[in-house]
A and B are shown apart, each in its own frame.
Chain A
Amino acid sequence: DGGITQSPKYLFRKEGQNVTLSCEQNLNHDAMYWYRQDPGQGLRLIYYSQIVNDFQKGDIAEGYSVSREKKESFPLTVTSAQKNPTAFYLCASSMDLGPSYEQYFGPGTRLTVT
């Protein structure tokens, strides 16, 4: 089955530790995205990437980093500089950037930092 895989579903970390969230897609999509979802806040874009080895900051990139070494993979690192990292993180992909291309979402990773 084609789709987007995010693992793990739940992740727990101590404050001050960096943590990397996995996102893999087998849809052969060029574009990939990371969103953060907080209750009552909707989705906010963290980073996005149109092609391998290239990515752009979204609205709330501070405290996060990404890499795009392979087309199918777009891991997100939540660094210790992120002041409020506890949230639900969603990865998405689309064939290309632009409104004509539907974004497909993964099931999400719920990160809790204490």
Chain B
Amino acid sequence: AQSVTQLDSQVPVFEEAPVELRCNYSSSVSVYLFWYVQYPNQGLQLLLKYLSGSTLVESINGFEAEFNKSQTSFHLRKPSVHISDTAEYFCAVSFPDSGYSTLTFGKGTMLLVSP
């Protein structure tokens, strides 16, 4: 069955420290990968996506994610976090079983940045 796994429900870090939020998916064929961010009581915003090409993708606010096909992973990283990065982060995958028409979301990882 298609699934998206975010093993860490919460990741606490100090400001200016590096962070990695993990995402794994189950599929042996091509998929499309996304990271979304949700600030409290708001909708989701697209952070970055991998459709094809370079396996390293970047966002405008310093996050990056690397697609690793052999490990079926798409981990999100930032070398130095800010207080304002505190939010919930969702990994999402477009699988072939849905005709790539819909997204399957992970359960989310709450990033808690403290001073």
| Interface residues contributed by chain A, number (CB under 8 Å) | 25
Cβ of B85 to closest chain A Cβ, rounded Å: 19
- Contact present for B103 and A103 (CB under 8 Å): yes
**B90 close to A (CB within 8 Å):** yes
Query: In the complex, are the beta carbons of A44 and B44 less than 8 A apart?
Result: no
Is A2 among interface residues, defined by CB-CB distance under 8 A? no
Interface residues in A41-56 by Cβ distance below 8 A to B read 41-45, 48, 50
Contact check, A90 vs B43: say whether CB atoms are below 8 A apart: yes
A41/B107 contact (C-beta < 8 A), A99-B51, A108-B42 known: yes
The answer to whether A98 touches B101, judged by C-beta atoms less than 8 angstroms apart, is yes
Docked pose: A102 CA to B104 CA in angstroms:
14
Q: Within the complex, which residue of B34, B100, B102, B107 is in contact with A42, where a contact is CB–CB below 8 Å?
A: B107
Q: Assess whether B46 is interfacial by the CB under 8 Å rule.
A: yes
Inter-subunit contact A100/B51 (CB<8 Å): yes
**A108 with B41: CB separation less than 8 A:** yes
Q: Could you list 14 further interchain pairs (A-B, Cβ under 8 angstroms) beyond the known A48-B101, A97-B102?
A: A40-B107, A41-B107, A42-B6, A42-B106, A43-B92, A43-B105, A45-B103, A90-B44, A97-B99, A99-B49, A102-B46, A103-B103, A105-B44, A105-B45
Q: 9 tightest A-B contacts by CB? A: A105-B43, A99-B32, A42-B107, A99-B94, A43-B105, A97-B101, A42-B105, A105-B44, A107-B43
